[in-house]
Amino acid sequence: MKKEELQSIASQLKKPEGEKGIEMANMMHETNINMTLSAIRNLHISQGDNILELGHGNAAHLEHLMQQCNHLKYYGLEMSELMFQEARQINRNYVSQKQAFFSLYDGNVIPFSDAHFNKIFTVNTLYFWQEPVKLLMEIYRVLDNKGIFCLTFAQESFMEKLPFTEFEFELYNTEKVEKLISQTPFKIINSETLTEKVKSKTGEFVDREFTTIVLMK
């Protein structure tokens, strides 16, 4: 693939736009579903939880999350206008019932008051954070005391094999993420690394190692 094509894939993964963006969102939902389920499982969702997700894509996984418990409220933040619209459309029942709320944000400042949520998660967004420590501190700020944050990412050893990750992506392994977290007041309470088979862009199956780090305020 040409450099321009690879750059285009990288920027669509960061912020899906246009018709290509909808295709990309559907593909991301399918390829990331095990990672998303790992993050949701590690949240240990309970009745009445206020949950925030950063970078939800088309949020086709929301139904699974809502089935975990009663009286949940879900808030989704996106940088992509297209994903904001897609998520609202796919989850219009939850939106109309005032169980799901979607908003746009700039990727840096979380537009909610202090201690607003008791569960927060994000899947495959870490690579695009402009100021990781500042964003972690924002997440810390909007998280309730003893609240849980799940950070799920694919390991650098897998990501570096993908030709488009040299553009726009900052790659991480567990040690590098722990170093970031050590610059915040978060406590790491668990870390789970799993390996799954995923279909590569060329159609063959490859092993992807991904990690969910569970943090507590």
**What CATH number does residue 135 fall under?**
3.40.50.150
Paired tokens of 212: 């969910």
User: Is 178 contained in some domain?
Assistant: yes
164 by Cβ neighbours in 10 Å (0-12 / 13-18 / 19+) ranks as: buried
Output Rg (C-alpha) for the chain, integer angstroms: 16
Which residues of the chain are under the pLDDT cut of 50?
Answer: none
Tokens 């420590």 -> residue: 133
User: Is 45 contained in some domain?
Assistant: yes
Give the pairing type, strands 73-78 and 187-199: unpaired
* Total domain count, the chain: 1
Among candidate residues 212, 209, 194, 203, the one with its CA nearest the CA of residue 158: 209
pLDDT at 202 (0 to 100): 60
pLDDT at 122 (0 to 100): 98
User: Is 7 contained in some domain?
Assistant: yes
pLDDT at 134 (0 to 100): 97
pLDDT at 26 (0 to 100): 85
User: Is 63 contained in some domain?
Assistant: no
Q: Which domain holds residue 133?
A: 3-57+68-216
The one-character DSSP state at 61 is T
User: Is 126 contained in some domain?
Assistant: yes
